[in-house]
Structures are given as structure tokens and as C-alpha cells.
Structure 1
Amino acid sequence: MDNPEVLKQIYLDANATTPVLSSAAAAAMETMETMFGNPSSSHTSGLQAKQIMDQARCKAIQVLGAGTGQVIFTSGATEGIQTGILSALYAAKAKMKAGQSYSILYGATEHKAVPESLKHWNRILEVNATIKAIPVDVQGKLDMEYIANEVPDALMICTMAVNNETGVYQDLSLLEQTIRTHNSDVYWMVDCVQALGKTHLGLADTTIDYAPFSGHKLYGPKGIGFVYIREGAPFTPFIAGGGQESGLRSGTENLPGLAALNVIFDELLGQGSDVFSSTKVLSELRAQLSTALKTAFPTVVFNHNFDNSVPTTLNFSIPGFTSKEIMDLFDAANMRVSSGSACSSKVTRSFVLDAMGLEPWRSESAIRMSFGPAVTQQQITEACDRIQHCAHALGHSCLVSMDGVTNEREELDGLLQLKVGGSCCWVYADKQSGKAVVIDPLVEVQERLLTILECQKLSLVAAIDTHGHADHTSGRVGLVQAHLSEQACDPLGWPIQCDRIEINKNVFSFIELGEHCLVKVSTPGHTADSISLLLCDKSQLLKEKFVPEFTFCGDLILMGSVGRTNFSTSDAAAMYCSLRNLAKITNKQGVLCPSHDYHNEFVTTFDAEMNRNTLLEQAIEGRISSANFIKAKTSLDLHIDDEQGAEIMCGAFVESCQKVQVSEYDSVALTEHIEQHSDATLIDIREPHEYALNHDQYFSKNVPLTRLANFIAQQHNNMDQELILVCRSGSRSHIAANALARLGFKHVGHLKGGYALSH
């Protein structure tokens, strides 16, 4: 495969937006240049402009099957949604009876624009109805029994024709029958944004009152849309002013947008250049993509039923991989997909898949591939080819099993950090001895761990939990069955048959890993069984010294907090002693590896935490008594459950007064800076599978986020060096730069916008 950097982009995120059809763009440009009159003007230029608008309205009515209903042009679907909701609720308020309870219903998988708009206008208009989400089943279908029970008291009901994340469509006929049987007067809005061009619309044959549409979802420009309003449905102008659109929607009309829509409507009516494929062809193209995914990733799971969704959308999850990982992988191959929901530095979840009741891992791993009716066979063929190359890159990095790549694998030596949500799993591999240990294994990455061990030809010495986890199930079982079935161990996985050493009259057990040893230290507090594991150089240990390279501290110390102590097996007094003991026997600059990382800080040190956590600093320095520590800790733990949301938080977080300095460069400034500072180290922090797809020799080294902890430990004696981090979008490089700066690296910068804005 050629370097994807020079390959043409394959765009498979059409449900988010689409490129403007070339003929539509040409029509818009011609209108801007030669037919730019104001449609409200009575001179020739104005009349020519009005003709474009009238043509667009006439064609829209045909496309929608609007009959005697109205079509009003808007800035987009969001304005159409406001128009429908404002009109319905304003009219409904006038009919409300004092003392009676009312509701507003919307589908639980609706685009967020709908429930947020309902809340807004419900409050602004002082309707004060109860807003309720209609449940969906595992297929994404609305619960008709719920609607039948709730709609009699509803002022308005909002549903969508086609879901933007899954492509699932609703049975509008059944929905209409259910709604109108139980409430013939309720106002009904249907979000039809994703339905246009993908399914038949005959709105005049329904009792749908309002239906918003958006041009940029179907090869039109952004900033143009339209809304259907059924004849007789109440209407209140959302925008007042000069009286355009017969007084229904004021504001100078977007004539270039309307000219572009004219071209799109021609395609939908079969009067254009036939660039839109039929539903049958689109279904065949989706089948090709799904086959390619199943071949490349045999464990892939599709999150919707193809029989109940439009043929232009695939939503899938790959076990063991987050949506961010797969998005970055595909992006490195110059193929654009999305997670189907907003990404952030925290856990990415799909509220749509959550509402469908799918397993959390599927929601966190969801990827959406979507294309429009103008997609070509060549584009789909190329996409299928790149999907296979993406899987090959994962095999190269030992993340999936694949024949023919083990001889060219990246060798793992040192520490690897794998994360699922806020939970961390640690793998330490000693290349020389071929031994490895897994600490705090997670079920979600169990297959990945097994693949790494097999691909890297590593012998698993132990799989150990630092404590009994309350927020997730340990992933030890699968590892033990595959590699340690005959090993006798304690409940946390520590081998019973192991060496012991006496240091300062205390006996410690340890496991050998080549020239290193993993030492167990009892550190109760968070739970009664909590331990910490110290990875030390064997020669230092034989000298009866603890100089750990890494300290796996479980939930004793977290970034920005210490572990919670309000579990039934917790003991704040024991935690006080454990903190002081662990700080005494370890290097305060040594790397601490907790079992949770809620804020993308990766690792920490005693010094870094003491700088921002007064309670921790007071405990370790002996400036607070055990009794006062218990009192303060109890107060902190009272508020943990208030901030946890759907995730059990294992520590109460403190506000950091520590400010870190990170330099940000654009591509021009970075080039100039490197020319002036030849000693600066430029680091690509993409993961190895991304690097394999898009390798640029310009960078000094590759340090992926999964290996950042290892890099920090290697460089902790060289914190004066200048490091400049680069990734695809700038988000990961910014996060990593902040983590390094917080730990004391003095000259850290990153490329703002990453590769995406540097070409």
C-alpha cells in the first residue's frame, strides 16, 4: 500500500456532513456572480432571483410529497426544529387547562438538538410541562406501548425518521396509528434530516405537523435548510423582520444555497445527472463494507440491524478497542469516520446505543461509517482495501492476531499502559528474559493482552490485581486460564511460591523479571487487601535498597487525589500508615502508576502529588495526625458519589493550584523554532499502528501514549531537554505535553492542530 499521506481522502462521515456536489457548487457560484438580485426586489435581477427561489420551493414540495403543506426555507435543521417546537408549544399553551398535568415526548435516541430545544422553549414559554424520553428497544425502535400510555397527556411528540448514529428508521405508519389513536390533537414533529434521499417521503399522506431538513447532509452547502409544515398546523414565526417568505421567516433569502438545493432536488427527482445511486445499489455497497470489516476484524459487532436501517450507515464496535483508537487508525489511512457522538478527553459514550440497552463496551467503542447516495463503487472498493491495511497495521503492533506479520512486529520492552475509560491496565515486559507481568488486568482488553503475549512470544509470570476492584471485574481469569492454570496464587494473583528478602527487618516477597524484580508491599486503606508493587533493579534489591523504576500503587494514590476510604473494607487509619510507609521506602521522584486515570495524566510522582494535594503532603511529612487525617478524609469522601455520574470514582479530587507551561506552535512557527533550536527533540506520539500506516522520518522518535509512562521513567533525570510533541489533531499531543510539564519537564511544547492543520 502506498503512503496514505499521498492517497486521496476516503470520506465516510456523510451523516455529519457531505461535500457539496460539484454541480450544486457551480449553481451557487453562478448565482453569486450573475444572478445575485434580492428576491424581494421588483426589478429584473430581483425577479430572476425570485424565480430560483420559487423553483426550489416547487421542487421541494415534489420531493417531500408535501401536497398542500408549506415549505419554508431556513438556515438549517436546527432552525427548523426551533420553528416547529415554538409553533407547537405556543399553540398548545393556549389550550392548557388549569390544574392538569401535561407532558412533552421525544424519542430517547433523538439528536440532542431536539430535547435541548424542547427544554429551552418549555422554559421560555413557561409551558412547564414534564419532558419525557420515549424508550427504545435493542433495535432502536420506539416503544409503542409507552407512547400509547403517555401521549394522551402530551402537548407535543417529537420523533425522528432515521437515526443519525445508527441509520435505524422508525415505522412512521405504525407510529402515526399509535399516536393518533390515543391523541388526535397532539402536535407531532419528525426530524427528517437523515431521511432525505435515503427513504421515501410522502408527508402529505401523514399527519406529521412539522418536519425539518438540512441541505449540507445531502451534498448541499451549509447554511441552507427547510421545514415542512402541514396545512392547518399552527405556526409562529421564529424570526421576525422584513417579512420575507410571506412573513413566515424574515431575513434576506440565501439565494446561492437555494440554487444549490435546486440541483440536489433535480437529482432526487431523477431530472439531474444521475449521480445518486438507488437504494438497491447503496445496500450492495454497505454489504461490501460490512464484509471487509468482518474479514479484517473477525470479532466486529454491528450495533444495528441492517434490515431496520437505511443502507448508507454502518455502526459497529470492535472488542478491545475504543472508538478513539479506531478513528485514529482509520484517519492515519486517510479514511474519515466518526464515533457517532461527541469526543472528549474523557470517556466517549454513545447515548443512542446506551438508550438501546447495548453493553457499555459497545457504546464506548462505537464507530459510524456513513456515505451518501453519490458515493462511487471506486470509493467503496478503496475503502475496503484500506480497512484491510488498517487491520494489518494492528497486527504489526501485536494488537490483533494476523498471519504474516509476527516477524516484523514492534518489540515490546518496558512498560505499556492500556486504558478503558478511567481504568488502567499495566503490562511490563522484559525483552531479554522474555518474561512479562500484567497488573490490574481489565476484561475489556483481555483479548488484546493475550494477543500481545502470543505475538511478542512473552512468558507470563503473573497477572496481579492491586486490590479487589469495586468498579469493574478483574480480567485475570482469561489470562490465568491461558498461561497460569497451574500456578498457585493468592486471591489477587500474587504467586504463593516466590522468593523473599529481608530489608530493614521487614520481609518482602518478590518475582524475578530478568534483571528486575517486582516486590509486593502491603498498603491497606482503600481496601483491606490493597497492595503496591515495586519494580526495582535486581542489583539494588540485593543491596537491600528500594529504588523502584515504577510503583504500581493501585488506588492508594491517584492523580489529584488519594483513594476513597468509605467502602465497607476501607480503613482511613490504615491508609495514613500506608501512605507514609510507601513514601519512606520509595523515591519521591519515582513514577507512580495508579489503577485509575480519570483526567488523562497517565502517571504521577509523590512530589507532583504533594505539590497539589495538601492532605497528602501533610500526611507524608507527618504534619497531620492520623485522627485528623481520618476526619479530613471522611469529609472528602462524602462528595465522591456526587461527581461520579455513571462511573464509580475511586478517589475524591482536589483542586490543583499548580499551573504548567506548555508552548504551542503552528506549523510555520514550529519549523522556524526547530531551525533555531537544533537540539529540540520532535516526538510523534501516535500509536505504532498509526505510525506504521503513515510513517514520517522527520520525527526524532515515536512515543505513543501507551508508552508515555515508560518514556517518563527513562527521561526523569533529563528534564531540562526540550521536547515537542506531535499527533494527528493536536489533542493527544496537548494532553501528553501537559502531563510531562506537570511532572517537571521544563521545556515542553506541541504542534497545535497536529497534522490535520499542518499540510
Structure 2
Amino acid sequence: MEIYLDSNATSPVLPAALDAAMAAMRDCYGNPSSSHAAGLRARAVREAARAAARRVIGAPRGRVMFNSGATEGIQTAVLSALCAVRECRERGEACGDLLLYGATEHKAVPESLAHWNRVLGAGLELRALPVDADGRHRLEVLRELAPRAALVCTMAANNETGVVSDLEGIAAALEHSPALWMVDCVQALGKLPLALGATRIDYAPFSGHKLYAPKGVGLLYVREGAPFTPLMCGGGQEEGQRSGTENMAGIAAFGAVLEALERGDTFRGHAQLAACRARLVAALRQAFPGIVFNAPLEQALPTTLNFSVPGASSADLLEIFDAAGVRVSAGSACSAAKAVSSYVLDAMGLDPARSASALRMSFGPLVEDATIDAACERIMRCGRALRLPQLSPSPLLKDHEQGMLQLDAEGQTGWLLFDAGARACVAIDPPAALAPRIAAMLEAGGYRLRAALHTGTDSAGAAALCALAGGAPGWPADCPELNLGAGVLARVELGGASNYLYVPAAGDARYVFGGALGLAAAPLADALLCGSETERAVAAAAAPQDETGMELDAGAALRLLEQHPDAIVVDVRDLREHGAGEARLHGRAAHNVPLARLAEHAPHFIAQDGRPLLFVCRSGARSLRAARTLRRLGHAHTWCLAGGLALAH
């Protein structure tokens, strides 16, 4: 069962909205601009939705027009305001020279401001309005800048933190300012009371898919008398306000959501939603004892939580939650693919480490108690998974106390060799960026760092790790070899460079670390070569196998498993992901060999070359890397699941 807690990104579609969309396409498919009966029926659906919108947002007057969503609404508002500013200037009237936007606004706002400022040649200055540590706009700064403002853009509630803006305070700060005012109301609909007609707000965009309507439909409110310039001109639909044939299925669906809001019999109220959030907060605090919440709960939407877990990155937490079947996010969905810290949390002045470990959990006002119950149980499971020791012997390699962990950062690879029995380890070429993380792993597992070595000219990582974990970088003086429990690491000089030969106690595997990996020296010809470049971190002297045709879709993977009952399914997700939710493919349980531990297990797999290997992971990216590595090492019968487990069910 999937538990969806990312409603601030998008929501499922309300059943009544689905029915309304289907009815619009099946029974009421006329063009609302047509004058015949079919067109009149379609127009009636559109106008009923518009009337419901007016009542819900409290806008008996002014423009309320349907569009494709909030981004289009923002663009229309900005274009309208800047055209008015330009006309003001042409008449010689004072109209302000600043475009102010909240520092925590959705990126659609500053990007739209910059775009139209450039296209129209307005020459206005863009300036971010700072927020305080709670994420609320600094009104004293706004009061100071208000006389110079031409347009002010704020939001009703923040999409990442849920922080509710002090709109009354902003209105008071703008009381004597000539500035136009746009308020992004995307997260407010259905969660905050709205009476736009009683405010001085000039523009308010909304998006349907944030509240159980389909994607691709939204609306824009424009205060009566506020400047307006159409973004889209053409056939004159929407009374000339927004040309283009209307998305009647979307409008009908949005109308059904608005009518449900108006009736008050479908969505849960503020007190109920706050109680749901309180239960999630209690579960999070129990599962993650060091958790910190990044916005005051009393000043945030009752449907949104933004929190950080010290010592865990956002990426790690996302993978663990996703493995447990809980869908959360690290911030705005529009920025999720970019590996950057949250600009929202940065603007609030949070410590970078705290920002780097932040997650957002959000639900909608249709949430059921059973969903919250299940979410709390899985949150506890995620907390237990996060505490699993990463430096522990592999259950697949019986009687092996030694282990190897591959450390990747920014295209560079390092290695950590450890012995669980002796609680000793050696780091080779550790990336400097990962030094704090490695040190934390050693401390959590009670390991002693015997040495931090480097094989090239860059010793920064080794020095950084030693500074945190103790010791001095480089090979210990007067030490011919290092014993890690029963495993042995020896220094080997090849081609004038330092290389290291590691021989674990169990088995015949041998590993060489260093820069001279192209050497097929006789003593090392049968060793696995472990380098410092992530793309080809593991190699062998033997000729690699053909790397084509490795990716199998779900159907092909099923046929492989049916034809080869002895095939090994290997889950290369992190140990903690596997602990949060074990992987199964077509009923077959998977062995967990994290990608970072693949080199350690490669000799075991190569020894069984005739036995097919099928690698799986969440999205298919890590399993593809694993399959390529095993093919390069000579295992011909290796495949991976295309698209990962996410597409297999």
C-alpha cells in the first residue's frame, strides 16, 4: 500500500471531479463559445464553476478567469502589472522602480518578474523581500521599501514549509504605497479562509491540481479596477480575457471540487487536520529522536510539516521513506531533480547542514485516519532502518568479518575497508566531501581508523577524515603491512605510484587500490582493480563482456526468472532502504547487496558465472551501474530491471 504524503506537489483527483470531467467529455462536449444548444450546455457548466469559484474565494466582483494553472496566472498578473507601470511612466506619473518578491516565493514568481521585465524593457529593479527565522516576511523592510515598489509579490502560504503569511500585516505596510499586489494562493485553497474581495489584493492565482482537481486547470482572480493585459490573445474566449478553447473537462472537474468546498461536507476542517498533523509529529519525534521542525507549527498550514534529521541527508531520508512506501519530498516538486539545498530554508537562515537534511511531508484535506495510522507505523519503520549499521558483515558472504564500502562523491571514488570483529578500518582516497559522513559511520559502529591513505596527489580527503576521526594521513611509519582483523593490506609500489593490495581472510579474492590500474603485472593479474573514478571504479584484467541488452522490462524479467529458477535477484539499494521495505520481484525475494558493497561481492558472483544475476533498485539507475560492472568483470549472464521497482508494480 502506497502512502502519499506529498500533496503540496500534487494531489489525486476527487472522485466527483473525475465524474464531472467524464460527463463534460461524454455528455457536455460542446464548445462554450458556440450558440447552439450543445454550446449553451457547456457554457452553463463553465459559468456554474465560475460562480462556485467566486463564492469560495470571496470575490463577488472582479475578474475570475479559468486558465492552465498557477504559472499562467502568475505570468498574466506580472504582465498586467508591468504594462500598467510602463503606461504610467509614459504619462510621466510616478509608479515605483522596485519589483519586490518574497525571498521564499515559488520560483515561478521571480522567474516571471525577470522575464517580463526584460521583454518589456521596463528596467525595474528586482529585489527579494527577506523573511525572518520563522519564514514570515520582514514587515519593517517592506514598510521601508513600499514607497518605491511598483509590484509586490507574496504568497498566502509557503509550499515547502507551510508557513502562513501575515497578509493583514503586509496590507498595512502597503497602505500608502502605489504598488500593485499579487498573492500566490495556490496552497491556501481549501486550507485557509479566503475573502479576496474584502482585501486590497490585486491578483491571486490558483492551481486545481493542488486540491484534487486534474493538472492543467487553474484560475486567476483580478481585483475590480486592477490593471489587466491578456497573456493570450486570439479567439476572444473568456470574454477576451484568456483566448484559447477552454479545457472544459478540467473546468468541470475543478468546479466539482469548488462545489464540494462550498458545501462543506467533503473535506476535513482545520481542527481535524491539525490533529492528524499532531499524530505525525509524535511519530516522527519517536522515530527520529534528534528531529527538528523547520517552521513553527502554530504558524503553518495544518497539512504541512518540514523537518530535518541531523546526520542524515535529504536524499538518504527520501530513499528510506520511498522504500517504506511513503511518498514525501525534499521541497518544491519543480526543483526536486536538482541536487541543491532549499532556497526557502536558506532564506530563513537555517544552518546549511540542517537544510541539507530537510524533508517535506504534506497531506490534503481528504486524508483519512487509516492513512495517518499507516503512515505513523511506517515512520517508525523508517526510524529503525536509519539506525541500521552500514559497516556490518554481509549476510550473503558467510563467515566474512571483512567488508568493503565504495565511497562516491562528485565523480570521485574512495574505499573503506573494515573488519567487524576487530572494529578496525582503513580509508583509501576518501572524498573530502564525505569525510564528516565517514567519521559519523565509524563513530556509530565503534570503529578505529587505522590509516587514511591516498594513491594520487590529492590528500585532502585523507587529511579531512583524520582531522575528524583521529590519526595522521598516509601509511604508518615502519609498518610493512596493516592487519585488519585477519585481513591484510600491503603497500605495493608500481610505476612510481603507491598502490595497495588487500587480501581478506576468507576466500581467494584480492583487491588492488591505486593509480596504476592499467598494469596487468603478474602478481596482480587475478586481482580486482579498484580505482578512484566513479564511472569505472571497479575493473579487471580479463576482457569485459558485451554490455548491450542488459536492461529488461518487467515482462522480460518475469520470463528470465521463470526460465532460470536458480537466478539470483539482487537489490542494490542501500541497506537502510532495504530495511525500510524489502524488495520482491514477481514473488521472488531479493538479496540485498548495496551498490557501495558490490566490489566486495563481485568475486562471489563471478564464481557463479553460469547462474543468472538480475539487479534491481528503485529507479533502475543503480541497478544498471551494477549490471555494467559485473559484465565488465566477466559475468556474462547479468541483467537489470529497466525503470526499477517503481515501474514493476
- Structure-2 separation of matches of 1:387 and 1:245: 47
Q: Give the equivalent residue in structure 2 for 1:512.
A: 483
- Structure-1 separation of matches of 2:111 and 2:453: 43
Which of 90, 102, 106 aligns to 2:101? It is: 106
- Structure-2 separation of matches of 1:279 and 1:63: 16
For each residue in 1:154-184, what CA deviation from the matched residue of structure 2 results, as whole angstroms up to 9, or x when unmatched? 4322221111111112111222222344x32
Letter in 2 for 1:237: P
- Structure-2 separation of matches of 1:235 and 1:141: 29
Which of 507, 511, 514 aligns to 1:549? It is: 511
Q: Give the equivalent residue in structure 1 for 2:356.
A: 364
Cα RMSD, aligned residues only? 4.1
For each residue in 1:290-343, what CA deviation from the matched residue of structure 2 results, as whole angstroms up to 9, or x when unmatched? 110110111122222212211111111222322222222222222211122467
Q: Give the equivalent residue in structure 1 for 2:201.
A: 208
Q: Give the equivalent residue in structure 2 for 1:727.
A: 617
Letter in 1 for 2:293: F
Letter in 1 for 2:479: R
Q: Give the equivalent residue in structure 2 for 1:166.
A: 161
Which of 365, 371, 375 aligns to 1:379? It is: 371
For each residue in 1:537-594, what CA deviation from the matched residue of structure 2 results, as whole angstroms up to 9, or x when unmatched? 389xxxxxxx97142x6xxx7xxxxxxxxxxxxxxxxxxxxx8999999959753454
For the pair 1:123 / 2:115, whether they are aligned, the reply is no
Q: Give the equivalent residue in structure 1 for 2:645.
A: 755
Q: Give the equivalent residue in structure 2 for 1:537.
A: 503
For the pair 1:317 / 2:312, whether they are aligned, the reply is no
Q: Give the equivalent residue in structure 2 for 1:190.
A: 183
Deviation of 1:462 (Å): 2.4
CA distance 1:195–1:333, change in 2 (3 Å): same
CA distance 1:80–1:411, change in 2 (3 Å): farther
Q: Give the equivalent residue in structure 1 for 2:417.
A: 428
Aligned with 1:311: secondary structure? Answer: coil
Q: Give the equivalent residue in structure 2 for 1:648.
A: none
Deviation of 1:228 (Å): 0.6
For the pair 1:464 / 2:445, whether they are aligned, the reply is no
Deviation of 1:240 (Å): 1.7
Deviation of 1:108 (Å): 2.2
- Structure-2 separation of matches of 1:278 and 1:700: 43
CA distance 1:536–1:310, change in 2 (3 Å): same
Letter in 1 for 2:436: V
In structure 1, stretches of 5+ residues that fail to align are: 1-7, 454-458, 481-488, 502-509, 526-530, 540-546, 558-578, 609-658
Letter in 1 for 2:32: P
Quick check: 1:414–1:430 contact (8 Å CA) kept in 2? yes
- Structure-1 separation of matches of 2:63 and 2:318: 41
Deviation of 1:691 (Å): 2.5
For the pair 1:255 / 2:252, whether they are aligned, the reply is no
Comparing 325-334 with 80-89, greater Cα deviation is found at 325-334
Aligned with 2:535: secondary structure? Answer: coil
For each residue in 1:674-728, what CA deviation from the matched residue of structure 2 results, as whole angstroms up to 9, or x when unmatched? 5667887543212223324224262664321231343457668999997543212
Aligned with 1:601: secondary structure? Answer: helix
- Structure-2 separation of matches of 1:702 and 1:346: 28
For the pair 1:665 / 2:552, whether they are aligned, the reply is yes
For the pair 1:237 / 2:218, whether they are aligned, the reply is no
Q: Give the equivalent residue in structure 2 for 1:221.
A: 214
Letter in 2 for 1:534: Y
Q: Give the equivalent residue in structure 2 for 1:5.
A: none
Superposition map of 1:327-726 within 5 A: 327-341=318-332, 347-395=339-387, 397-398=388-389, 413-417=402-406, 426-431=415-420, 433=422, 435-437=424-426, 440=430, 442-444=435-437, 446-453=439-446, 460=448, 462=450, 464=452, 466=454, 474=464, 476=466, 479-480=469-470, 489=471, 491-492=472-473, 500-501=479-480, 510-519=481-490, 534-537=500-503, 549-551=511-513, 590-592=528-530, 594=532, 601=535, 603=537, 663-672=550-559, 682-692=569-579, 693-696=581-584, 698=588, 701-712=591-602, 723-726=613-616
Comparing 90-99 with 122-131, greater Cα deviation is found at 90-99
Quick check: 2:209–2:215 contact (8 Å CA) kept in 1? yes
Deviation of 1:19 (Å): 0.9
- Structure-2 separation of matches of 1:345 and 1:27: 33
Quick check: 1:240–1:247 contact (8 Å CA) kept in 2? yes
Aligned with 1:500: secondary structure? Answer: coil
Quick check: 1:468–1:492 contact (8 Å CA) kept in 2? no
Q: Give the equivalent residue in structure 1 for 2:50.
A: 57
Quick check: 2:554–2:648 contact (8 Å CA) kept in 1? yes
- Structure-1 separation of matches of 2:126 and 2:89: 16
Deviation of 1:478 (Å): 6.2
- Structure-1 separation of matches of 2:448 and 2:522: 27
CA distance 1:592–1:80, change in 2 (3 Å): same
- Structure-1 separation of matches of 2:144 and 2:402: 61
For each residue in 1:508-554, what CA deviation from the matched residue of structure 2 results, as whole angstroms up to 9, or x when unmatched? xx42113333346899x9xxxxx967252389xxxxxxx97142x6x
Tell me the TM-score normalised to structure 2 length: 0.84
- Structure-1 separation of matches of 2:34 and 2:160: 43
Quick check: 2:308–2:359 contact (8 Å CA) kept in 1? yes
Superposition map of 1:139-178 within 5 A: 139-178=134-173
- Structure-2 separation of matches of 1:96 and 1:747: 72
- Structure-1 separation of matches of 2:635 and 2:351: 40
CA distance 1:587–1:199, change in 2 (3 Å): farther
Deviation of 1:424 (Å): 6.5
Q: Give the equivalent residue in structure 2 for 1:35.
A: 28
Letter in 2 for 1:160: M
Which of 272, 288, 292 aligns to 2:283? It is: 292
Deviation of 1:126 (Å): 2.6
Comparing 326-335 with 75-84, greater Cα deviation is found at 326-335
Aligned with 1:96: secondary structure? Answer: helix
Quick check: 1:320–1:448 contact (8 Å CA) kept in 2? no
Deviation of 1:383 (Å): 0.6
CA distance 1:198–1:705, change in 2 (3 Å): same
Quick check: 2:539–2:632 contact (8 Å CA) kept in 1? no
For each residue in 1:607-641, what CA deviation from the matched residue of structure 2 results, as whole angstroms up to 9, or x when unmatched? 99xxxxxxxxxxxxxxxxxxxxxxxxxxxxxxxxx
Aligned with 1:137: secondary structure? Answer: coil
Quick check: 1:536–1:548 contact (8 Å CA) kept in 2? yes
- Structure-1 separation of matches of 2:620 and 2:106: 28
Tell me the TM-score normalised to structure 1 length: 0.73
- Structure-1 separation of matches of 2:6 and 2:449: 44
Quick check: 1:87–1:235 contact (8 Å CA) kept in 2? yes
Quick check: 1:76–1:223 contact (8 Å CA) kept in 2? yes
Comparing 221-230 with 51-60, greater Cα deviation is found at 51-60
Aligned residues: 627
- Structure-1 separation of matches of 2:43 and 2:473: 76
In structure 2, stretches of 5+ residues that fail to align are: none
For each residue in 1:628-678, what CA deviation from the matched residue of structure 2 results, as whole angstroms up to 9, or x when unmatched? xxxxxxxxxxxxxxxxxxxxxxxxxxxxxxx97563332123334556678
Aligned with 1:250: secondary structure? Answer: coil
Letter in 2 for 1:603: A
Quick check: 1:414–1:429 contact (8 Å CA) kept in 2? yes
Quick check: 2:96–2:147 contact (8 Å CA) kept in 1? no
- Structure-2 separation of matches of 1:308 and 1:255: 37
Letter in 1 for 2:553: D
